[in-house]
Amino acid sequence: MPNSELTDRFGRTVNYVRLSVTDRCDFRCVYCMAEEMTFLPREKILSLEEIARVARNFVTLGTQKIRLTGGEPLVRRGIVDLVREIGSMGLRDFAMTTNGSQLPALADDLRKGGLHRLNISLDSLDPAKFHAITRTGKLSQVLDGIEAARDAGFRNIKLNTVVMKGRNDEEIPELIEFARTRQLDITFIEEMPLGQISEHDRGLALCTSEEVRSIIRRHHELELTGDDSGGPSRYYRMPDSAIRVGFISPHSHNFCATCNRVRVTVEGRLLLCLGNEHSVDLLRVLREHPESDETLRQTIIAAMDLKPERHHFSSEGDVEILRFMNMTGG
């Protein structure tokens, strides 16, 4: 595996790519999407072959870690074939973020296809609240999905919970017990101002990681670990459990200095930062140069110069980024 050829102006090495495989989703989570969404027409999105081509070229440039996301990656037809293709590229880490709803049917094939890890979103253990947050989701389907992933042999399953005041903050102790019982890591995420939503006031709903930790500390000791995924999560442990409790705190903890990642949207836009609008159009390059990958690789290398030093999110919930998370590839 070559060292990454992708370095930005601030000396950060980029060796992690998050590929969004669809903007569509079977859920409409209140913090992620508007209730009525218009999704992209087929001709505007990368084909599975084009996504694999992007992945292969990033790997050639030294990428060691790829995560498939969306939208909901498991609603994209042919996703298992794409997983097989990328699973054979020799990655050190190959992961997916999913809402879990399709895992009962697909977990086995994903594991056999070479996927290493799963992050599964789970915001509530109460069926009615779960339905209210996801607008369309059925909790039992996701819980079955988590079991299916465990049965399929996935070892590193992590739960992701976006915490909102008055919505699911009182469920934090229950979610911790759920994770402890099943030996699953869990990460609590502060809501980010991505896309204009009217369903709730992001500023009022913001539950900071510090607040989440103080709720957990009523029940368990929490110790900060030095574990570093190279990403935004800070990890804590409880003395009587092997699981890790992560916190993604874009409002209170700036994690840009060690940022090692870029994203490619399903429209083929290479995004250099979650919290900035800079992007480069890879779809055009892919389609103008179907035979040779040289221009694609040069475009990716040159794009690193656009990676901004940091993002700025305000805690008032003001929208600074017009893209919804389903477009960004969360």
Token pair in block for residue 189 = 């995420």
Residue 191 within binding range of ligand SAM, rule CB under 6 A? yes
SS3 241: coil
> Applying CB under 6 A, which part among 39-47, 79-87, 96-104, 259-267 lies near ligand SAM?
96-104
Q: How far apart are CA 278 and CA 271, in angstroms?
A: 6
Residue 197: burial class (beta carbons within 10 Å; 0-12, 13-18, 19+): buried
Among the listed residues 57, 63, 99, 249, the single contact to ligand SAM using CB under 6 A: 99
Residue selected from 64, 102, 160, 168 as contacting ligand SAM according to rule CB under 6 A: 160
Of 132, 147, 209, whose CA–CA distance to 184 is shortest?
147
Q: Considering the complex, state which of residue 61 and residue 164 has its C-beta at the smaller distance from ligand SAM.
A: 164
**Residue 72 is a binding residue for ligand SAM (CB under 6 A):** yes
- Angstrom distances, CA of residue 266 to CA of 99, 178, 327: 18, 33, 8
192 interacts with ligand SAM by CB under 6 A: yes
> Per-residue x/- mask for ligand SAM, residues 307 to 326, rule CB under 6 A?
------------------xx
The amino acid occupying position 30 is: V
Should residue 70 be labelled a site residue for ligand SAM when binding is judged by CB under 6 A?
A: yes
Going residue by residue from 116 to 155, which x/- string records binding to ligand SAM, judged by CB under 6 A?
A: -----x----------------------------------
Pairing of β 93-98 and β 279-281: unpaired
Q: How far is the CB of 26 from ligand SAM (least distance, A)?
A: 9
Should residue 32 be labelled a site residue for ligand SAM when binding is judged by CB under 6 A?
yes
Q: Which residue is nearest to ligand SAM (CB)?
A: 330
Q: Which of 69, 168, 209, 279 binds ligand SAM (CB under 6 A)?
A: 69
Q: What's the sign of the alpha-carbon dihedral 193, 177, 152, 187? A: positive
**Interaction between residue 102 and ligand SAM (CB under 6 A):** no
By CB under 6 A, name the one of 15, 23, 28, 31 that touches ligand SAM: 31
Q: Beta strands 65-69 and 223-224: pairing type?
A: unpaired
Which residue among 14, 17, 21, 25 contacts ligand SAM (CB under 6 A)? 25
Beta carbon of residue 99, minimum distance to ligand SAM (angstroms, whole number) = 4
Judge whether 235 and 279 are in contact, CB under 8 Å: no
The gap from C-alpha 146 to its chain's centroid, in whole angstroms, comes to: 17
How many residues line the site for ligand SAM (CB under 6 A)?
19
Tell me the Cα Rg of the chain. 19
Sheet holding 234-237, edge to edge: 223-224, 234-237, 244-248, 185-190, 156-163, 117-121, 93-98, 65-69, 16-20, 261-264, 269-271, 279-281
Torsion of CA 25, 30, 34, 36, to 10 degrees: 70
Residue among 70 and 268 whose Cβ is closer to ligand SAM: 70
Judged by CB under 6 A, the stretch of 97-105, 109-117, 273-281, 304-312 that binds ligand SAM is: 97-105
Name the residues that contact ligand SAM, by CB under 6 A: 25, 31-32, 69-70, 72, 97-99, 121, 160, 162, 189, 191-192, 194, 325-326, 330
